[in-house]
Structure formats: structure tokens, C-alpha cells
């Protein structure tokens, strides 16, 4: 395990038992901007199933890890991702209470992660190959969660736009933990497989998968929103405006990060700052309440 200059190398990854009260959070928690609100809300629909899938795959990998430090990191990662999944799930209940029925879309996402990317009942070498394949996908997706985590920690335009502080704390607590554990999936992949060609393929597949889920998820939310009532058609093309305004990540920023991922010497530790993540967690209302 290598740590970069300025990055704590003795960090023990721990899950924080956070709680959020959604009762006063408005449906359009970026005031007056349902398009940007829902571009971020797609996350709430994907993460419960996606992160539970990470947990199942990583639990299967634990017995294969021959490095004590990496095993400890993988266990810490599992604890954090399980907590993330549960926290985003609670937001979905709040959406339904406000008349935004996300359940049909969420059922499709559940099916995707459980059936298409699930345990296929394989044995022997084929089981191992399918496990490695899924770990390579998770490592590529975790590149994005780390980059997005770094983005949300620095997204001051959301504060200036009056975004709801409870929602920002959820996203920044999660984002900070994504930055904190951003090296784990990549290191697990490098430990168990490590082939550059597999890493490239996993990134290509992840981009295709995430773009399609985001496009469909945003269209769904804009159509199902009881206030918008489909008057604005959803889609990732909106990210041009919202990205420029600093309310969502921009395609340019995410694209540049993919360029760095494709380098042979890529290290997730070059994305974002552990110190900044830890500083946020030390000030996060939810993370601090979890300590008490
Ligand atoms: Fe997460
Ligand atoms: Fe993560």
C-alpha cells in the first residue's frame, strides 16, 4: 500500500453511523432548478442497488486477499458502502412521500445489479473470472465516485444557489468517504488481476453503463416530478448548462479524469485530497452526530 505525499498512510477506514432528517427538505432542493436537482438525484436511485452490489462482490473477494493491510481496507470499504446505500435509500422514501414515485425506475436498477451483474452460480475458474470482471468494473466506477466526491466537497456554487444543507451534508459526507477510500477498489483489482487491457475494457463498459443509466434516470425523474409534470424533457445534455454553472459536475471535468485513468501509471490517490475529506468529516453535522 502506497500513500502519496500529504496523504495519511495510517488511515483506518471506518463506517460512520449517520442519520438524516428529510422531513423539511424540499423536492427541488436546488431552489428553482429541478433540472440540476434531478441530475444529482439520479444518484439516489442508482446508489442503493449499486453499492449493495459492491458489498456483495467485495465480500466474495475478501478470502482471496493475501495482504493484511489491503484486507483491512476492503473490510472498511464494505462497511462504508453499506452505510451509503442505506442512507440514499431513505431519500427515496422522502421522494415518494412528496409525490415523486421513483419505485418503478428503482426496480429496474435493482434488477440490473442483482440479475445482470449478480452471482451467476458459477464454480471454479469461471467463478473467479466473473468475480475479477466485476471487481474491474467496480474499480472503474469507483474512479468516478472518487472524482465526484472531490467535486461535491468543492462545489461552492451549490451553497451560493441556496441548496438544502441537509442534502448537501449527505452528499458531502458520502463524497468525503468516497475520497477517503478511493484507492481501495483499484488496489484490490491490481492485487487480483491488474491487466491494463481489463482496466481499459472496464472503463469503456462503465462509461456506457453510467451514461445510459443517467440519461434514463434523469428523463424518468423529469417526467415523474409532480411539479415539472414532464414540461421539461430530461437528459444528460442538460449537464452543459448545469456544469458550466457549477451546479453539477461538467462533462469536461469528468472526461479529463477519464484521460488520467487511462494512463498506465494511474493512481486514484492523485484524485482529490484525503486531508480535505477528513476535514469535512470533522465538520459534517451528520458525521459529528454519529460520533456522539
Ligand atoms: Fe459510496
Ligand atoms: Fe466508494
Ligand nearest, relative to CA of residue 182: 2
Ligand nearest, relative to CA of residue 185: 2
Q: How far is the CA of 80 from the centre of ligand 1 (A)?
A: 7
Q: For cell 475479477, name the residue.
A: 132
Q: How far is the CA of 104 from the centre of ligand 2 (A)?
A: 25
Ligand nearest, relative to CA of residue 77: 2
Kindly report the length of the chain.
292
Ligand nearest, relative to CA of residue 58: 2
Q: How many other C-beta atoms are found inside a 10 Å radius of the C-beta of residue 120?
A: 10
Per-residue confidence in pLDDT tens, the chain, 292 aa:
334 444 556 789 999 999 999 999 999 999 999 999 999 999 999 999 999 999 999 999 999 999 999 999 999 999 999 999 999 999 999 999 999 999 999 999 999 999 999 999 999 999 999 999 999 999 999 999 999 999 999 999 999 999 999 999 999 999 999 999 999 999 999 999 999 999 999 999 999 999 999 999 999 999 999 999 999 999 999 999 999 999 999 999 999 999 999 999 999 999 999 999 999 999 999 999 998 8
Q: Classify residue 255 by burial, with Cβ atoms within 10 Å: 0-12, 13-18, 19+.
A: exposed
Distance set, CA 162 to CA 3, 94, 166, 167, 246 (Å): 36, 20, 11, 11, 13
Q: How far is the CA of 51 from the centre of ligand 1 (A)?
A: 6
Amino acid at each position: 500500500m502506497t500513500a502519496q505525499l500529504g496523504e495519511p498512510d495510517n488511515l483506518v477506514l471506518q463506517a460512520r453511523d449517520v442519520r438524516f432528517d428529510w422531513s423539511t427538505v424540499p423536492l427541488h432542493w436546488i431552489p428553482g432548478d429541478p433540472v440540476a436537482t434531478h441530475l444529482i438525484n439520479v444518484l439516489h436511485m442508482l446508489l442503493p442497488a449499486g453499492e449493495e452490489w459492491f458489498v456483495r462482490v467485495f465480500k466474495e473477494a475478501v478470502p482471496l486477499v493475501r495482504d493484511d493491510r489491503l484486507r483491512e481496507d476492503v473490510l472498511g470499504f464494505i462497511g462504508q458502502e453499506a452505510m451509503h446505500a442505506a442512507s440514499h435509500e431513505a431519500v427515496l422514501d422522502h421522494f415518494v412521500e412528496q409525490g415523486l414515485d421513483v419505485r418503478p425506475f428503482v426496480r429496474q436498477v435493482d434488477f440490473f445489479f442483482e440479475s445482470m451483474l449478480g452471482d451467476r452460480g458459477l464454480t471454479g475458474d469461471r467463478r473467479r473470472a466473473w468475480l475479477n470482471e466485476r471487481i474491474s468494473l467496480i474499480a472503474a466506477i469507483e474512479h468516478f465516485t472518487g472524482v465526484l466526491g472531490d467535486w461535491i466537497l468543492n462545489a461552492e456554487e451549490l451553497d451560493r444557489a441556496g441548496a438544502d444543507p441537509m442534502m448537501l451534508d449527505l452528499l458531502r459526507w458520502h463524497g468525503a468517504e468516497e475520497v477517503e477510500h478511493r484507492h481501495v477498489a483499484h488496489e484490490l483489482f491490481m492485487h487480483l488481476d491488474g491487466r491494463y487491457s481489463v482496466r481499459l475494457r472496464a472503463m469503456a463498459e462503465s462509461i456506457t453503463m453510467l451514461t445510459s443509466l443517467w440519461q434514463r434516470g434523469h428523463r424518468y425523474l423529469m417526467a415523474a416530478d409532480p411539479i415539472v409534470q414532464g414540461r421539461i424533457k430530461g437528459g444528460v445534455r442538460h449537464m452543459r448548462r448545469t456544469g458550466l454553472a457549477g451546479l453539477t459536475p461538467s462533462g469536461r471535468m469528468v472526461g479529463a479524469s477519464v484521460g488520467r485513468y487511462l494512463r498506465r501509471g494511474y493512481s486514484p490517490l492523485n484524485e482529490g485530497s484525503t486531508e480535505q475529506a477528513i476535514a469535512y468529516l470533522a465538520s459534517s453535522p451528520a458525521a459529528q452526530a454519529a460520533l456522539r
